[in-house]
Structure 1
Amino acid sequence: MNQDSTARIVAGLTTWIAAAPPGARVPSTRTISAQYGASPVTVQKAMRRLGALGLVESRPGVGTFVRAVRSIRPADHGWQASALGAPPNRTSALSSTQRAVSPDAIGLHSGYPAVELLPERLIRQALARAARTDAAVTRAPAAGLPDLQAWFAAELAAAAPAGVTSATARDTLVIAGSQSGLSSIFRAVVGPGRPLLIESPTYWGAMLAAEQAGVVLVPVASGSQGPDPDDVERAFAESGARAFYAQPNFANPTGGQWPQATSQAVLETVRRHGAFLIEDDWAHDLGIDADSQPIAPFDDDGHVIYLRSLTKSVSPALRVAALVARGPARERILGDRAAESMYVSGLLQAAALDVVTQPGWRTHLRAVREQLRARRDLLLAAVEEHAPQAFIGGRPRGGLNLWARLPEGTDVARVVRDCESRGVIVAPGTEWFPAEPSGPFVRLNYASADPSRFTEAAGILGGVLGES
């Protein structure tokens, strides 16, 4: 009843306001109460609603008045062109993988696993426990919580061969996701105007971070077996680069894993040129048919700068990762991190440490491995049967994605648009190339969408390709 009275008053006064001049005094609460047979409280609710609609304004001690309506005109941002100047690069700041889509769509574009593949119970319990500690109200050290530094260092040291000096907790910096680490490395270690070797194709976010830092990208062709070590040697010699960004394990987007011989050959090349290998171990916890085999444990003199993120395996809400570097490179990177973000939330660090040190963490990783295997194989079989035009060169041994090559001459942008119009979202492969694409590709994520709809999605993709 009260709600009905409020609505009646709002409707009646809206009509009255439409005919009243701007600045006209609105009838008093007593007058409106009598007119509508409503209580003063109901009248006040109606006035607050009119105020929220921008129709009236209250002047304390004076009364309520019809708001003067400003003429509406389109905003003019043209002045910013001169103030900002030309952009430093032409790369879009938002990848197709970051797009929000309709809940009804089949999203094969995302870069993240579905919630059911995350340790949800462990995360919620860890956050609750962390909120009750001093981490919730104190500043964390710039390099990270010592216990979390030690955990990351121990994880890497466990893979170190005998006789190699393993990384220590002091070598480890806790960062807010590996993306922020890449930005700092490119600024502090490579520098603007300097060349950086980079696999092609490779992670689009690394290219974006490098270009934002003013780094000059030097592509090195790479595939399911990684780059040819001779190509890496030649690229170092011809470019004068002093760093190589690479994903030796379960690369995004190809899913490729370097053979041990390639890892050792590239490391020797890096040493010979007095350079750095920036090793992005983003999918360390996402092995399916193999475990991640980092190169960093085989380096005992600071040539490898190592990144490992928990964003994909623990939770995207816990933007916690680690960067391992030695010598002056570590100090430069730490200085850059401190200047940009001061420190990573101690609350998030404490929660992440809680999760990965729980007995259930290893159990969760074993279960996720089997779930990823089932999803990968289901999507692969669906594509092979219903979209045979999309060629997938190899079964990825880990990670989250299938890398599909489309028939020569295919208009990838049109395929992406047509798939989306039919309810399937795929990521165009052009985003993963630092230079011209070597062919028409799309990336298909098997970890984010509902696997029961993979056959439907592959049928739509096959239908679109059949119309090309």
Structure 2
Amino acid sequence: MSESNITQALVTSLRAEIAGLAVGDRLPSARDLVRRHGVSPVTVTRAFALLAAEGAVVTRPGSGTFVAARRSSRDGSADGVADTSWQTVVLADRTMPAPSEGELLGPPASGAITMAGGYLHRSLQPTKALAAALARAARRPDAWDRAPTAGLAPLRAIFARQAGGDVGAGDVLITSGGQSALSMAFRAIAAPGSPILVESPTYPGALVAARAAGLRPVPVPLDADGIRPDLLADAFATTGARLLYCQPTFHNPTGAVLSPERRRQVVDVARAAGAFLVEDDFARHLGHGAPVPRALVADDRDGTVVHVTSLTKPASPSLRIGAVVARGPVMERLRAMRRVDDFFIARPLQEAAVELLSAPAWERHLRALANALRERCAALVTALAREVPGWLPGQLPAGGLHLWVRMSAGHDHAAVEAARARGVVISAGREYFAAEAPGDYLRLGFAATADLGELAEGARRLGA
């Protein structure tokens, strides 16, 4: 009898045996089957592999082979629901961060007014300029060629000029948006289990990225002038952290701008601690008309600052183009991670970004956007003063997309649910804190609504 026939005969015998067992029962060991059927260990291994492929058994190294959940050929399981419980053991304690409150509440109802989220409404996006840039990029003869790992040289040069100082194109790595850049930077700099200092409050996406990298966020309070250097120095000394994440310009969610005297102090404190400072400069193009401070990286010559920026906020959420600016070994590590993660960013999108940023329409868009954001911010403050005077922010932001409002104790979650019931989506403040929040807050956005009329209607509903 051929080896294949011997294997098939053993499979048939085991199928009959499995039919009389319950799910989870252990099958005889390979040694028992060799002795009972007079076959070789290789034959037993092949038989178990065939049965596993059929979904009849599951093999657990070191434990044995067990009867799997019964499956039908029509829907994959006896009751129509796939059994993925085995994954719990494999994934062990490698948990991902919990979803935000907005995700737990589900998608907004049709017709709801969105005063949450962090992207521009379509009416504020440079859609015509984006379409023209994409069309011009598509006509390039090399548009579908492989892009360099670090990104297209012209695009890197543009981001270098935006960063300022003596930053050059060689210091820039193109990324797939800002969130990807943060994830790369956190994983490149800090080992799992390490602390990472963050402003309190801070951007929830940074907290998620840090925890997904196995880092432990440690909050450092801020005030109207940004993160407090005295408490930052204490945090470095207490935790031994070697990484700080901060948003010096138009901080999300408070809108604070790190004051001129503190900008130098914060970098000096990080350098003295032998730590990196990840500067999230996502809002550089979201000012409301006033001059925007220089990026921290522009005055950093020692490689302390790792600068992260993106085009998704001022342009479109689907323009997934960002950049990391770094110097020294950390940049080499980032480039190595790029080669492991995804090789390079899609060239057509990079070409489109070059076309967009090089066209006169981009500067016109930024000027119009600044005027529109300033107008919307003022309109929302006026509407809140009329409809919900207790919800006025402590300070008006000079840039960004949101107002940060302090609530009465214990009312933030109730306000979010009540607003949703009236067709308005807002964000509770608790998800912006790495630890216990010092109070109850709301984040109210003014850039995701269709127009000023919708903002006024949203405020009226909130007043209800």
- Change beyond 3 A, Cα 1:301–1:235: same
CA gap of 1:334–1:94, structure 2 versus 1, over 3 A, is farther
User: 1:235: Cα distance to partner?
Assistant: 0.8
Q: In the alignment, which residue of structure 2 is the partner of 1:251?
A: 251
Secondary structure of 1:389 counterpart = helix
Alignment-derived partner of residue 448 in structure 1? 448
Q: Secondary structure at the match of 1:302?
A: coil
Q: Is the 8 A contact 2:289 2:371 kept in 1?
A: no
- Give the direction of change, closer, same or farther, for the CA distance of 1:291–1:297 in structure 2 (3 Å limit): same
Residue 427, structure 1, aligned to residue 421, structure 2? no
For the pair 1:234 / 2:241, whether they are aligned, the reply is: no
> CA 1:86 to 1:95, structure 2 compared with 1: closer, same or farther past 3 Å?
farther
1:312 positional shift: 1.0
Q: Partners of 2:375 and 2:325 in 1: how far apart?
A: 33
Q: Secondary structure at the match of 1:244?
A: strand
- In 1, the alpha carbon distance for the partners of 2:454 and 2:177 equals 31
Aligned partners of 1:82, 1:442: CA distance in 2, in Å? Answer: 38
Conserved? CA contact 1:242–1:273, under 8 Å: yes
Q: How does 1:265-414 map to 2 (within 5 A)?
A: 265-293=265-293, 294-410=295-411, 412-414=412-414
Once residues 93 and 418 of structure 1 are traced to their aligned partners in structure 2, the CA distance between those partners, rounded to angstroms, is: 17
Please list every run of 5 or more consecutive structure 1 residues that lacks an aligned counterpart in the other structure. Answer: 1-67, 161-165, 464-468
In the aligned structure 2, how far is the partner of 1:187 from the partner of 1:94? 26
Shift of 1:373: 0.6
1:118 CA drift (Å): 1.3
- Indicate yes or no: 2:220 matched with 1:213: no
TM-score by length of 2: 0.80
Residue 98 to residue 281, structure 1, CA distance change in 2 (3 Å)? farther
How many pairs align? Answer: 388
C-alpha change, 1:318 and 1:97, in structure 2 (3 Å) is farther
Q: Is residue 2:194 matched to residue 1:194?
A: yes
> Which digits, 9 at most, give the CA deviation of each residue in 1:141-188, with x for residues without a partner?
11000110011112222xx3xxxxx11100100000011111111111
- In structure 2, relative to structure 1, the CA distance for the partners of 1:93 and 1:452 (3 Å cut) is closer
1:129 — aligned with what?
136
The corresponding residue for 1:40 is none
Q: Give how far 1:76 is off.
A: 3.1
Contact 1:193/1:214 (<8 A) preserved: yes
Q: What amino acid is aligned across from residue 189 of structure 1 in structure 2?
A: I
* Contact residue 93 and residue 208 of structure 1 kept, 8 A: no
Shift of 1:391: 3.6
Whole-angstrom CA distance in 1 between matches of 2:297 and 2:102: 29
How far is the alpha carbon of 1:359 from its aligned partner? 1.1
Matched residue, 1:151: 158
- Cα deviation for residue 268 of structure 1 reads 1.3
Measure the CA separation in 1 of the matches of 2:341 and 2:247: 25
2:170 maps to which residue?
Answer: 170
For residues 200 and 97 of structure 1, the distance between their equivalents in structure 2, rounded to whole angstroms, comes to 23
Matched, 1:141 2:148: yes
% identical equivalent positions: 39
Q: Which amino acid aligns with 2:217?
A: L
Equivalent-residue separation in structure 1 for 2:218 and 2:74 (angstroms): 56
Whether the 8 Å CA contact 1:198–1:244 is kept in 2: the answer is yes
Structure 1 length-normalised TM: 0.79
Amino acid at match of 2:197: L
1:150 & 1:326 partners in 2: Cα distance?
15
Query: Could you give the per-residue CA deviations for residues 253-285 of structure 1, whole angstroms, max 9, x where no partner exists?
Result: 111111101111111111212211110000110
Q: Secondary structure at the match of 2:403?
A: strand
Q: Give the 3-state SS of the residue equivalent to 2:302 in structure 1.
A: coil
Q: Which amino acid aligns with 1:85?
A: A
Amino acid of the structure 2 residue aligned with 1:133? R
Q: Secondary structure of the residue that 1:136 maps to in structure 2?
A: coil
Is 1:113 the counterpart of 2:113? The answer is no
Q: What secondary structure sits across from 1:267 in the alignment?
A: helix
SS at 1:279's partner residue? strand
CA distance in 1, matches of 2:374, 2:361: 20
Instruction: Confirm or deny: 8 A CA contact 2:101 2:431 kept in the other structure.
Output: no
The list of structure 1 runs, each at least 4 consecutive aligned residues, that deviate by more than 4 angstroms after superposition, is 68-72, 93-100
- Preserved CA contact (<8 Å) 1:175 1:321: yes
Q: Would you say the 8 A contact 1:279–1:304 is kept in 2? A: yes
Q: 3-state DSSP class of the match of 1:288?
A: coil
User: In 2, are the aligned partners of 1:143 and 1:334 still within 8 Å (CA)?
Assistant: yes
Q: 1:134 to 1:93 in 2, by over 3 A?
A: farther
Gaps of 5+ in 2: 1-72
Q: Secondary structure at 2:444's aligned position in 1?
A: strand
Measured after TM superposition, the shift of residue 389 of structure 1 is 2.1
